[in-house]
Amino acid sequence: MINLIKKFNKTALLAMTIMFISVFVCLPSYAKNHVDTMDIDVAIHQNGSATITQRWVGTFDEGTEVYLPIEDKNLIVKNLKVWKGNREYLSADGWNVDWSFENKKWRSGINYTNNGLELCFGISEYGNNIYTFSYDIDPLVKSYMDADGFNFQFVNPNMRTFPSNVNLRIKVDDDKKLSTDNARIWGFGFDGMVVFSEEGCAVAYSTSPLNGSNYMNVTLQIYKGLITPNVSVNDTFEDAILNVALEDSSYAETLKQQSGLSLAEIFFAIIFGAFFISIIASIVSKVKRKAALKTFYKEGNYFRDNPNGGNLVMTHILYKDFDIWKNKETNVVGAIIMKLINNGNLEPLQEKSYGLFGKEKINTSLRVGKEPEDPILRELYDIIIRAAGDDGILQENELKKYAQKNYEALIDYIKSLDTKGRNALNQEGCYNRVGGNRLNDLNEKGIKELSETYGLRKFLDEFTLINERGVMEGIIWEDLMVYATLFGIAKKVLSELKEVYPDKLVEIEKITRTYYVSDIYFRNLYYSTYNARRAAEIARAATMAAKGLGGASSIGGGGGFSGGGSGGGTR
């Protein structure tokens, strides 16, 4: 019995080994082939025909041929020419897909099928190859009642050998330029972009590798007068081509939103989108710059008073331009709000309310007080008055709504704080030249101003380590907390104040309440403003793309195309 079991185990093991080997031995012949880049150039002729040139760069280690199906019997496809490197292929009168590797070597031809045709040529040599092939197609562009154009499939779905990157360029003969002045473009079936280039070409390119059901369909509308296609259609381009192509696409959804959805729905849908732009001119230079600033900070002395003569925007721009703390932006708006509260220009009000289940909620508002003398403070004070309305009391929701409706003006105001800060430094004669963010951009006066900004930040960071209780008793912490807010370290400083001065918790709690009120209103103003701008920008970009002015392609849609088909690659 034991021997029988051993014999069975050996037989089972052998069978499993054979099955395992057979799976890998019997893989399709195209499995190891890969196209890294597919460049497609389309030259549109005056009569609407076109010459298409494709360049495939990749690895070809198995199979016998490269092929591209064009399943459209209404097209005339001719003049297939193929090159591998500098060697041109011989053109065969016919093509047999069952020919051997050797018979297909250095030969090209057209294989006619029930659905149309296949452009074919031999792999010829295994390894890393660059194949270039061109062919004429007639017609590509047709004349419609309102415009000329096409919807053509340049990359098929379900290819056996998919490209990682596709770059498509469409131009018109006689150096006629395509642009948003005379054309519109849409892309379907791939993750990428469609744009008009400065050279006057319509361009489509992928931003993610194509695979599976991906494809590249491009719809191009050309205004009348640029070319004169031979083939005319008694219908409009919009009805015959565009509307069909837009079905099930993201473009169609965008156009639907523009006409059917409320502003609130659009805002909610796109608020989560954001554009993050980061430009690094020189990493090495940036590292050296920051190292020099860090050394300057480390070797500097403490500063225990309002820096830069109390000019908040000057401190703001010194801290922002000479930043070593990775604070992308200072909280200058919050600091101004806190200063307005400290000066009595704004008065925080708190009111209790109770929710449905009796949960207590504290509602905070700001009552407008006396007008500030400082022009920097007065500018934001005037904004708050406008947002507050007739009662002179600003609620949180009132500020949010005001920011959403007036985001352009508020962004101009926030940007103006940078300009005012740099102008102040220029007027004080702090630069060796106009502007800059390196130590050697500042003269002796500028170095002094920067040392005050750095010195206060250093003091606020380290005051718990300083054994000078007597000296620190005279500090007006309400003023310095304005700068702690600007530096973005207010919470840390407040927490440490409670440790250093446990006998002054009443005063510290008052400062804490002022900070939290200023922070609430800063966030409502700042983030509502920039979120509203992002929403508007995204909506504009989506609308431009949907109208064919260039932008992101659509993963879906593109129906009603000519050319193309299914499959292709190698076999």
Residue 347 confidence (pLDDT) above 80: yes
Residue 88 confidence (pLDDT) above 90: yes
Q: Which value, in Å, is the radius of gyration of the alpha carbons in the chain?
A: 34
Average pLDDT of 452-461? Answer: 90
- pLDDT of 283 reads 64
Least-confidence region, from 37-51, 165-179, 359-373, 484-498: 359-373
Least-confidence region, from 282-286, 323-327, 339-343: 282-286
409-428 burial, b at 16+ Cβ within 10 Å, e below that, comes to ebbebbeebbebbbebbeeb
Pull the structure tokens for residue 554.
Answer: 């659509």
Average pLDDT of 273-302? Answer: 67
Residue that wins the pLDDT comparison between 420 and 160: 420
Residue 83 confidence (pLDDT) above 90: yes
Alpha carbon separation from 439 to 55, 282, 433, 435 (Å, rounded)? 51, 17, 12, 11
- In DSSP terms, 54 is beta-bridged to 40, 133
Residue that wins the pLDDT comparison between 247 and 178: 178
- pLDDT of 548 reads 56
Q: How confident is the model at residue 163 (pLDDT cuts 50, 70, 90)?
A: confident
Read off the pLDDT of residues 484-516 as tens digits, 9 standing for 90 and up.
Answer: 999 888 888 888 888 877 878 888 888 888 888
Residues 6 or more apart whose Cβ sits within 8 Å of residue 157: 189, 212, 213, 214, 215, 566
- pLDDT of 179 reads 86
Global pTM? 0.49
Q: What does residue 312 show for φ and ψ, rounded to 5 degrees?
A: -60, -40
Taking each helix axis from N to C terminus, what angle separates 263-270 and 505-546, rounded to the nearest 10 degrees?
A: 100
Q: Is the peptide bond between 157 and the residue preceding it cis, with omega within 30 degrees of 0?
A: no
Residue 106 confidence (pLDDT) above 90: yes
Residue 469 confidence (pLDDT) above 80: no
Residue 1 confidence (pLDDT) above 70: no
Q: What does residue 80 show for φ and ψ, rounded to 5 degrees?
A: -70, 125
Average pLDDT of 391-399? Answer: 84
Read off the pLDDT of residues 305-316 as tens digits, 9 standing for 90 and up.
Answer: 889 988 999 999
Q: How confident is the model at residue 393 (pLDDT cuts 50, 70, 90)?
A: confident
Residue 136 confidence (pLDDT) above 90: yes
- pLDDT of 403 reads 84
Read off the pLDDT of residues 60-70 as tens digits, 9 standing for 90 and up.
Answer: 999 999 999 99
- pLDDT of 266 reads 41
Read off the pLDDT of residues 9-47 as tens digits, 9 standing for 90 and up.
Answer: 444 444 444 444 444 444 343 447 888 888 999 999 999
